[in-house]
Structure 1
């Protein structure tokens, strides 16, 4: 019996080291390298972690059996404590393994569950890193470039076909038009312009998606910053790393609110009302308009709002709307399309305020009508484009 305990202890030490290695590899300056490892959580690595935890549990049960159940000399107090503790440990381990396969989109892609979500739903991707398929048979077709941030990329949308850009593509008809999605999470106006410049395809139609946080870069350049919430700093330091690495604890942590939305709204209001910031931002937007003029492309603006505060979005972004309208760029205000949708149905999930598939559908259909009319409003007498549907 003693030899069996010793052998189990030896195996447990080895398994413990391997388990520590796959969960804390960065402490040893080891990095698992696979495509998009900063965003995707590789399923095979998770399977390996789960298998190691199961093996650890097997050895713990084996030690309990030979050390407590079969050992008549085991102290009663120790036997009772271990008997009570073992089921709790087993439950936590199996919950940890279960949550290794729970996917949930999250606002900033900060969580382990969101990394699982990205791996499961984000592909396919182009060599440039866009969530889009490679385009073939494009000769003689009108080129439509849809550029924007996570709203264009479809953050939180499980199927790329439900994004407004894909809805537009279906409506336009793939026999005459080819739509390129240049959406990338985190892009600001300057980065969107750089992406347009370097993209090899030049547009016949250019659609720029706008969100109120696009002004942040201009705000930072002009000295206005926001001290945001640092994840996990509201936890005691000794347990922070556990909540960073444990799938179970990480999921629980991010179900609770962190940070204050009101402070961000105040920051945005200040940014849009400071002349030096808004003027710099409009100059950045003007570069994109100049790009459209250079390539003789018809341009449209799609303005997404703060999903739970449509009025604030309308108030803050009015200078941007006025700027584009004065330059004859049609503006599609998404806020006007979603007022009759319940606020909870406008978003993809409780931890992710990106536009839902329902909102994307409405935006895609409304954008098609806007493009079909050449940017004219209803009743302007413009002949609509033919739809493939």
Structure 2
């Protein structure tokens, strides 16, 4: 309702301003060169407002009806509109093109669990994300994915427990780990998130697609807490939080081990700043040593992605989630990883 009201206002405004200009100068239309003083200034202001109103109108139309992509934080109306359009959920309430049967269907089952990287945030066609690509590569095994934007270690453990309790059957779980999966035990960051997502920008900025995207892009680029996000995560892997995270991951493995379920892990890098000076390499090394120490097969995708430029792998300049190319690369690497340990017709 509010969106339509604003669009109507933006559509009417150029007509109103053009009419004002005509009425104001209707007696001078053939001698505008003779217009002087205040009338000239007023006329220039009206013309400027008229042109500005056209920019607003076409901006609103473009971002509401044609612009179809995401931002990293899913703060903009455009990004939320994209989510509603492209996230089609199956019978388990997760994004996929197929429904899942809890019972085995005559094939070995691999169940991915992850966050927005696994769900395919920014990927218009779910068949282009790495999970669905692997499903096509390995028709001999059953591929499922339980993933949602914002999930972290707590939600992985919670949803695995729920699935087990509900009678869903597992062979192998592939945990798709992101470096920020530790964030749910970072109290400082949780309070920052609450402030970010409770922000209300006012009627115009919340209901106009054009003004909303301008506002939030400015907000994100100038918010120090958001820009320091990756440094917050780096600090979490130093000291007691890392010890707590290791305990939780050991508990997750024990929960699966006790039920005869295999665990494998794939780690994605942060896509900002890939290359020789990648700041989070130490965390990748920590994770690799940890997984090996508890006997978990681990694939670190950093070694594969670091030869690419960041801009070639991300959804857009405002969203550092992996794009279609990055998902294709991941599918090839993870597919080879699975084939090494899950040969055709058998398990680990």
- Please say whether Structure 1 and Structure 2 have the same fold, judged by a TM-score greater than 0.5: yes
Does the Cα contact within 8 Å between 1:229 and 1:258 map onto a contact in 2? no
Could you say what secondary structure the match of 2:142 adopts? strand
- 1: CA distance between counterparts of 2:121 and 2:340? 29
Deviates more, 1:333-342 or 1:94-103: 94-103
Which residue of structure 2 aligns with residue 316 of structure 1? 283
- SS at 1:190 equivalent: helix
1:248 aligned residue: 210
* 2-structure distance, mates of 1:232, 1:190: 20
Aligned twin of 1:210: 177
1:132-147 counterparts in 2 under 5 A? 132-135=96-99, 139-147=105-113
Scaled by the length of structure 2, what TM-score is found? Answer: 0.79
CA distance, structure 2, for counterparts of residue 177 and residue 358 of structure 1: 24
Higher relative contact order (CA 8 A, sep 6+): 2
1:147–1:181 CA contact under 8 A, matched in 2: yes
Structure 1, gaps ≥5 residues long: 1-21, 24-45, 376-383
Match of 2:236 among 266, 271, 290: 271
Whether 2:160 is the aligned partner of 1:193: answer no
For residue 107 of structure 1, report the CA deviation from its aligned partner: 0.4
Provide closer, same or farther for how the CA distance between residues 114 and 94 of structure 1 changes in structure 2, counting only shifts above 3 A: same
Pairwise CA RMSD of aligned residues? 3.5
Which of 273, 282, 297 is matched with 2:261 structurally? 297
- 2:124 counterpart SS class: coil
TM-score by length of 1: 0.71
Tell me, yes or no, if the aligned pair for 2:118 and 2:129 is still in contact at 8 Å.
Answer: yes
| Equivalent position to 2:115, from 149, 163, 185 | 149
Residues 326-382 of structure 1: CA distance to partner in whole angstroms, max 9, x if unpaired?
A: 22211110101112211211211101111122222122222122222217xxxxxxx
Q: Give the total of aligned pairs.
A: 323
Deviations 1:307-330 (A, max 9, x none): 134543330243332222122211
Find the residue that maps to 1:146 and give its secondary structure.
strand
Instruction: Give the aligned partner of residue 16 of structure 2.
Output: 60
The CA distance in 1 between the partners of 2:259 and 2:172, in whole Å, is 9
Are the counterparts in 1 of residues 6 and 207 from structure 2 also a CA contact under 8 Å? Answer: no
